[in-house]
Chain A
Amino acid sequence: MLTQIEWWGGLIFVVGALTYRMVMGALETEDEGIPWYRLQMHAFYLLPAVVLAGYFYPLERTALQYAYLAVLGASLVMVLVMLAQELTGDTSEDEAPPAEAEASDGWASVLGAVVLYSPVLVACGLGCAKAWPMVQGLV
C-alpha cells in the first residue's frame, strides 16, 4: 500500500481501466492524419483518473491546488464535449459502442452509457466535491 487511495477508489480505477480498454479496443485505428477522436477518448478517461487519484491526497500547497483545479477543469470540458457529441450525434465514423447500441435498443444504450461513463462521472463528481472548498479558500 504505497498510496493513500482507498479500496473503493481502487474499484473505481479498475472499472474505469476496463471500460477504457473496451472503448479504445472498439475504436478503429486511422492510418493517416492525427487520430483526433482517439486522442479525445484518451483525454476523456485519463484526465479523470488523475482527478480521482488527487482526490485522496491533501494537496496543501497552493500550486498543487491550482494544478488540481486545472486538471479538473480540463476533465469537465472533455465530459461536456463528449456529452455534446452524444446528444447531437456528431461523432466521427469510428464511434464508441454505446452509440451503436443506441440504434438497436434505447435501454441498452442508456445502460451501456452509464456503465462506460460512470467511472469518469464519479471521478469528476468527487473532484468537484473536493474542489469546492478549495475554490472558496483560494478566492
Chain B
Amino acid sequence: MSQNTHTLHLFFQDPVKLKLAQLIYRYLATGHTEQAQRWADRLGASDLHALWDAQWFNQEVFARPDHLTLRFDTGTSDDLPLHALETLFAHGLQAAVLEVFYDQVGETERMHFDAGQWVSRQAFIQKNPQWLPVVEHQAGRDEAGDASEGDEDADYGCSKDPVKPLSVAQLRKQEAQRKREAQEAVEAFVGLAQAMGKSGTSPVQGLIAVLLLRAGLKGLLQAFVFTVLAVLLFKGFWLWLGLGLVLAVVLPLYYMLSEYKTLKGDNDDSDADGEDGGPVTVMASH
C-alpha cells in the first residue's frame, strides 16, 4: 500500500523546551501516553491530540543535542502535520522543516517554517543559516547512493515555496478547504454516475452530455453579455437585440459542435491506442 513518509525537523530556541518536546515525542512514539501527557502539561500543550495524530505509523524519534527529528508515515490522503506544528509554534518552537516523500509518485517535497509562518527556502536560510546543514545534509545522506553535483539542484527543486509568507493556521485552513472541495467533487461525480446507472445511461454518455451542455451554456452566456453590452453602449435597440438572438442560436451550436468534435477525436485516439482505452474508459469500467 502506498504511503507518505514525513520527516519533520523541529528547532527550538529554548533548550528546556527542546528537552521537553523530545521527552513528549519519545514517550508518544513508544506508546507511553501517561508519561507524554505529564511532560506535555509541563510544556503547556496539554492536548496530546494536537501534538500527535493517531493515524501516524512507523514512527521514529531522533533526539539530537540541538534539535528534534520526527519520522512517521501516513496514508496518501492524510493531512500534513500542520496542527502539531501550529501547537508547537505556540509553545516555543522557533523553526521547522517538513519533508514529505510521496511514495505513490516517488517525489519529495520540502516546506520551511519560521516563527509560525510557512516561508520560502531562501527566507528560511537567511534567518536560520545554522540549520541548513541539518536539513539538507539529511537529504543528501538519504540519497547517498547517487551523490553528485546534481544533489544541490535536487535540494532546491523539491522545496515548495509560498508566494508570500503564510501563517501555519491559515495554511491549515486552506488545506482543509482544498480537501473538502476535492471530496465534494468526488461525491458529486459518484452521485452523477449512480444516478446515470439507475436510469440506464452509461456514465461516459452522461459526461459527454454534461460537457456539451456546458459548451452550449457558455455560448448562450456570451451572446447574452454581448447583447446587454451592445444595447447599453450603442443606439439601435432592435438591431442589437436581433443580432443577439442570432448569436444566441449560432454560438451555442458552434461551441457544442467543436466540443463534440474534440470529444470524438479523443475517443478515436484512445481507441487507436489499444483495447484498454483512455482514462474515461477506465473510469467507466469501475
Chain A interface residues toward B at CB < 8 A: 1-7, 9-10, 13-14
Q: Chain A interface: which of B59-67, B109-117, B208-216, B225-233? A: B225-233
CA distance A6 to B230 in the complex (A): 11
Chain B, interface residues (CB within 8 Å), range: 10 to 19
Q: Are A7 and B235 in contact (CB under 8 A)?
A: yes
Given contacts A2-B232, A7-B240, A10-B234, 4 further A-B contacts (CB under 8 A): A6-B234, A6-B235, A7-B236, A10-B230
Q: Which of B230, B233, B234 has the most CB of A within 10 A?
A: B234
CA distance A9 to B239 in the complex (A): 12
- What are the residues of chain B within 8 A of A4 when measuring CB–CB? 235
Where chain A touches its partner, the secondary structure class is mixed
Where chain B touches its partner, the secondary structure class is helix
CA distance A96 to B235 in the complex (A): 32
- What are the residues of chain B within 8 A of A1 when measuring CB–CB? 231-235, 237
- What are the residues of chain A within 8 A of B240 when measuring CB–CB? 7, 10
Within 8 A of A (CB), among B239-280: 239-240
CA distance A5 to B240 in the complex (A): 13
Q: Are A5 and B233 in contact (CB under 8 A)?
A: yes
Instruction: Enumerate 13 A-B pairs (CB-CB under 8 Å) in ascending A order.
Output: A1-B231, A1-B232, A1-B235, A1-B237, A2-B233, A3-B234, A5-B234, A6-B234, A7-B236, A10-B230, A10-B233, A10-B235, A13-B234
CA distance A2 to B232 in the complex (A): 5
Closest to B243 in A: A14
10 nearest A-B residue pairs (beta carbon):
A7-B236, A10-B234, A5-B234, A2-B232, A7-B235, A7-B239, A6-B235, A3-B233, A1-B235, A7-B234
Closest to B230 in A: A10
CA distance A9 to B240 in the complex (A): 12
- What are the residues of chain A within 8 A of B232 when measuring CB–CB? 1-3
CA distance A7 to B235 in the complex (A): 5
Closest to B237 in A: A1
Q: Which of B235, B237, B239 contacts A5 (CB 8 A)?
A: B235
Closest to A6 in B: B235
Give the Cβ gap from B250 to chain A, nearest Cβ, in Å: 14
Give the Cβ gap from B245 to chain A, nearest Cβ, in Å: 15
- What are the residues of chain A within 8 A of B235 when measuring CB–CB? 1, 4-7, 10
- What are the residues of chain A within 8 A of B234 when measuring CB–CB? 1, 3, 5-7, 9-10, 13
- What are the residues of chain B within 8 A of A3 when measuring CB–CB? 232-234
Give the Cβ gap from A10 to chain B, nearest Cβ, in Å: 3
- What are the residues of chain B within 8 A of A13 when measuring CB–CB? 233-234
- What are the residues of chain B within 8 A of A9 when measuring CB–CB? 234
- What are the residues of chain A within 8 A of B239 when measuring CB–CB? 7, 10
Q: Which of B230, B231, B237 contacts A14 (CB 8 A)?
A: B230
CA distance A10 to B232 in the complex (A): 11
- What are the residues of chain B within 8 A of A6 when measuring CB–CB? 234-236
- What are the residues of chain B within 8 A of A10 when measuring CB–CB? 230, 233-236, 239-240
Closest to A14 in B: B230
Give the Cβ gap from A25 to chain B, nearest Cβ, in Å: 15
